[in-house]
Structure formats: structure tokens, C-alpha cells
Amino acid sequence: MAQALQIDWLGRVAYGEALRRQQELLEARRAGACGDRLLLLEHPPVVTLGRAARAEHLLTPRAALAARGVEVHEVARGGDVTWHGPGQLVGYTIVDLAARGLADAHAFLRAIEDTLIAALGALSVAAEALAGTTGVFAAGSRPPRKLASIGLGLRGWVTWHGFALNVTTDPAAFGDIVPCGLHHVAMSSVARELGAAPGAALFERARGAVASAFAERLG
């Protein structure tokens, strides 16, 4: 049976620790020992390689990244290469699709896109999804300016991994990679789209908007 979505704010968490926590919750959800969860957090700088990652999309050698304190993790989610770091709101979804009557992971992925678009609308940022491409983009932007990336994993019809929304992130932080393997896309952020100075207040507003949108959609 589907349960109300529990949303937890974890603060800034190392990627390995967040991955361990996801795996624990994933197994607990599969066993029926907990309900659906959304973990909201930030990461220190880290590059993650999904199942479809191509070596040439990592532009900076791993040794050079390590020298700067940037970890690299190969993970069991969909998608290519992405970056996480300060100013980016990351959400990990531990959700039982079967209990919610969802037919497949693609339907849930589209639901995440729609929910992030609603959250961005609450922040006065017009956003859209693009056919044939996963993620959320500034509405009408050409070339597309990407605001959020999504990559899901699935085990026994329970999802893990999730999304990353650039709130106050400097888009230059993505310079070590070809984000999501998309050469034709520019990275952007909520702050840049609003023409606002990055800061803690904007990040808190974005966190509240995302939590409210997911509570309304999945709560």
C-alpha cells in the first residue's frame, strides 16, 4: 500500500554516506519496513558516472579532480555523467512504484520533471521538459539552459537516486564534464534565471518549494 511521502532534509552530506543511506532505505522499503521517502541534501563537489556514462564526457583526468578534492563515483543510476556540489539541491527518491500504481520508471521520471517544473514556477522561474531529453530546462531557452538533471535507479520496483536542481550553483562548476553527455545544452541555475545574487535565502526558498511540490504530488 502506498504511504504518505516522508521528506527529510539532511544538510550537506558526503556522496558515499548518502549512497549508503539510500541503500539502507531501499532495502527497508522493499521489505515493507518503511514508507516512501524523499531525501533532500547538498553534496561536497563530486562527479558521478551513471550506467550510460562515456569516458570522453569526463573532461578532466580523475587524478586532477582528486587533487582538487573532487570525488568520482560510478553508480547504478540511469544517465551519463553529472556533477553535484554546493548550491545544488539534490533529491533522492525511495519510492515503491508498484504500491503507487505506476506502470514503469519512465512514468515516474516524467512525474519528477512535472513536479520540479511546478516548484520552479513557485519561484517565478518558467521551466519545461523537452521531448527526447531527460531533465528540466528554462522555458523557451535556445540553446536549452538546463536547471535540473534526473537519473533513477530501480530495484524490485522501488526507485533510488533521483534529481539535482541547480539553485545557487555557479554553472562554471560543470566545466570538468559534458553534463549528461549533452553537448548542445548550457547549464544554468535558479539564481541566474532570476538575475538574483546567490545566497542562503534563495536556497532555502527553493528547498521549501521543492518539498511542497513533492508533498502535493506524492504526499
| Residues involved in catalysis | 180
User: Cβ(14)–Cβ(112) under 8 Å?
Assistant: no
- 188-199: b (≥16 Cβ within 10 Å) or e: bbbbbbeebebe
- Closest of 42, 15, 45 to residue 172, by C-alpha: 45
User: How far apart, in Å, are the Cα atoms of 63 and each of 1, 47, 54, 55, 71?
Assistant: 47, 13, 18, 14, 10
In the 3-class helix/strand/coil scheme, how is 59-105 assigned residue by residue?
Answer: CCCHHHHHHCCCEEEECCCCCCEEEECCCEEEEEEECECCCCCCCCH
User: Cβ(125)–Cβ(194) under 8 Å?
Assistant: yes
Q: CA 3, CA 175: separation in Å to the nearest integer?
A: 40
